[in-house]
Homo-oligomer: A and B are copies of this chain.
Amino acid sequence: MKQIIKPPFFEIGVKNFVYGDAVLEMAMAADEAAYRYDIDVLFIAPYTEIRRVAKNTTRLVILAPYMDILRPGRGMADVLPEAIQDAGARGVVINHCERPMSLPAIRQTIERANELDLLSFACADTIAEARAIAQLHPDIINPEPSDLIGTGSTSEIDYVQQSIHAVKTIYPDILVEQAAGITTGSQVYNLIYAGAEGVGAASGIFLAEDPITMMREMVSSVRRAYNDLQIVQ
């Protein structure tokens, strides 16, 4: 059965900022933070670390950074959906801007993920692209606006609302994550407080002076913002 993600969630993109034991350490600390703050934490791990991270964590939702759509057989260097799932991935990133995919490939990867009950986490560069991908009905959309990265919080908050609205009018059950250049816990707080269903970070964590502390601060900010929101409501 497909993993259910409860918003507000947090997402950590390892990319290739670290490798080996450093991935495992971050994963175990994130697993602990997920428990402590009772927050669903998505963890995008390099292929080589998926199995070890899965073995050493219980609450993290591990995603592979990409997969191909082949079936078991040939395909030297292709990433088999069954293989990432067997290793412990519960989902897959689709169309990240560092790995753009053709439209048929996006569609077919979402279909293949559904077949295996893998979460499909699709990226988009603009609100128009988010609407386009929403038509293919992935589970989560990350409409990361390349051009907004690093701008002030006000425009980001407008963008949160616009992007959520754009996606939800197509399929209300698609979760919408915000991940535009997040580098502090207070940014995470503000986005969740403004209505974001999830927030994600990669370089904001791994290029911080103390990545694990930064990750904890961000996960705890998701919880605080959510609690504060419920008081208000």
A95-B86 contact, Cβ under 8 Å, with A47-B48, A51-B52, A136-B132: no
Is A76 close to B, CB under 8 A? yes
Is A102 close to B, CB under 8 A? yes
Segment of A34-42, A104-112, A156-164 engaged in the interface with chain B: A104-112
Chain B residues near A106 (CB-CB < 8 A): 103
Is A216 close to B, CB under 8 A? no
Segment of A2-10, A123-131, A180-188, A191-199 engaged in the interface with chain B: A123-131
Chain B residues near A44 (CB-CB < 8 A): 76
Contact A102 B102 (CB under 8 A): yes
Interface size on A, residues (CB 8 A): 61
A179 to chain B, nearest CB (A): 12
A79 to chain B, nearest CB (A): 7
A84-108 contacts to B (CB < 8 Å): 84, 86-87, 93, 95-107
Tell which of B16, B48, B72 touches A18, judged by Cβ atoms closer than 8 Å.
B72
3 closest A-B pairs by beta carbon, nearest first, are: A20-B86, A47-B47, A66-B77
Contact A103 B132 (CB under 8 A): yes
